[in-house]
Amino acid sequence: MNRAVLALEDGSVFEGRSFGARAERAGEVVFNTAMTGYQEVFTDPSYAGQIVILTNPQIGNYGTSAEDNESARPYIEGLVVREFSPVASNWRSDELASAFLEKHEIPVVSEIDTRALVRHLRTRGVMRGVLSAVEGDTQKLVEKARGIPTMSGLDLASRVSTPAQYEWTRGVDPCSPSELIPRVPEPRYHVVAYDYGIKQNILRRLAQVGCRTTVVPSLTSAEDVLALKPDGVFLSNGPGDPEPLQTQVANIRKLVGKVPIFGICLGHQLLGLALGGKTYKLKFGHRGANHPVLNKVTQRVEITSHNHGFAVDRDSLNPSDVDLTHVNLNDETLEGFRHRRYPVFCVQYHPEAAPGPHDSHYLFDDFVNLMADH
């Protein structure tokens, strides 16, 4: 039986069975608590630079399907699971999960006590690690883990962004055949979406509410964006620390007040920085599909999908400029705000949620209404 080793920077070592590629990869070790959607996790660019632990006990049991990818390739550095299924039972599956990851040179370690590992990270905080299916010397792996860059100060958004501008032309194809798609209106608004690591279901949702979307690289200037004559600008999700992204923040600052803006995840954090706020790193982040968020405007609780390791400091935002609209009920972190004078709003979580709850789909309608009003 092939073995694989996960070594953490604090000297902790977890040994298990190897699946996926016979390779060695390094990154920040994080965990996701979602019950389903492992393929979407694999292909979410927000996981660039991270080894992901999935807490659901069995992974791989429904295989993979090309229709479920959130980007052109997987972005995780490695995968840690309790049990990795060698077979798949799903009429939509076109490839085993192990073959999918092996093809992209991503190692997997299974038969790990993921409960103990997650409790360790919750107590001490996420940390750097190395996952290896080729090296058996655990001390060497621990030393390698201590030598890789920390996530703080790391610009990953520029690395995963599209190299060239493009139009989203795939329309509103559902993210699964069972999804009920209402009648889609004719495109009424032109949205320019900054790609900091954008997920495809965001583009589907924009098309579903009647938007024609142009996706642009993360470093596109505000002047070039305005030259496209957008009705609105969308700021996408993405990986890494928001604070090094000074060029992106400067461009957002130039757009505020000139065009309606909607941001999510990293886009939310960059918007907070553009408005004079500060961000900070969370101890172990929010990654899962059932985080409760209070909408302070409606006083309703939304169950939401999350994937982020940084947050906006709510006390750093000027209350005369912004209204705090959403708050996380688990730890009171800021989940959303709106500008008091300009057509600008954002949330930390993922309202497109593929997979995940649909409680927050209304935010895309709010964006359309904002464009209609301006």
Q: Give the residue among 108, 80, 100 at the shortest CA–CA distance from 23.
A: 108
Contacts of 171 (CB under 8 A, 6+ apart): 184, 204, 207
- Asked if pLDDT for residue 270 goes beyond 90, the answer is yes
Q: Which residues does the annotation mark as catalytic?
A: 265, 350, 352
46-85 pLDDT, tens digit each: 999 999 999 999 999 999 999 899 999 999 999 999 999 9
Q: Residue 58's Cα: distance from chain center in Å?
A: 22
Q: What is the pLDDT at residue 279?
A: 98
Q: Which residues pair with 287 in a beta bridge?
A: 307
Asked if residues 265 and 175 have their Cβ atoms less than 8 Å apart, the reply is no
CB 10 within 8 A of CB 141: no
| CATH topology for the 3-147 domain | Glucose Oxidase; domain 1 (3.50.30)
Label residue 135 by pLDDT band (50, 70, 90).
very high
Q: Report pLDDT digits (tens) over 148-206.
A: 999 999 999 999 999 999 999 876 665 555 566 667 778 899 999 999 999 999 999 99
Tens of pLDDT along 94-113? Answer: 999 999 999 999 999 999 99
Q: What is the pLDDT of residue 1?
A: 62
Burial of 242 (0-12, 13-18, 19+ CB in 10 A): buried
Using alpha carbons, select from 277, 279, 271, 290 the residue that is nearest to residue 329: 290
Q: Is CATH 3.30.70.270 what the domain over 157-373 is classified as, yes or no?
A: no
Residue 141, SS3 per DSSP: helix
Per-residue confidence (pLDDT) for residue 180, from 0 to 100? 65
Terminal C-alpha separation, the chain: 62
Residue 3 has pLDDT above 90, yes or no: yes
Q: How far apart are CA 129 and CA 142, in angstroms?
A: 7
Per-residue confidence (pLDDT) for residue 181, from 0 to 100: 65
In whole angstroms, how far apart are CA 200 and each of 37, 73, 128, 281?
A: 14, 12, 28, 26
Other Cβ atoms closer than 10 A to 146: 16
Cα 91–96–101 angle (5° rounding)? 140
Of 20, 27, 3, 29, which Cα lies nearest the Cα of 114? 29
Among residues 150, 4, 137, the alpha carbon closest in space to that of 79 is found at: 4
Q: What pLDDT digit, counting tens, does each position of 344-353 carry?
A: 999 999 999 8
Report the DSSP pairing between strands 189-195 and 24-32. unpaired
pLDDT for the residue 33: 96
Domain residue extents for the chain: 3-147, 157-373
Kindly report the pTM of this predicted structure.
0.95
pLDDT at 170: 78
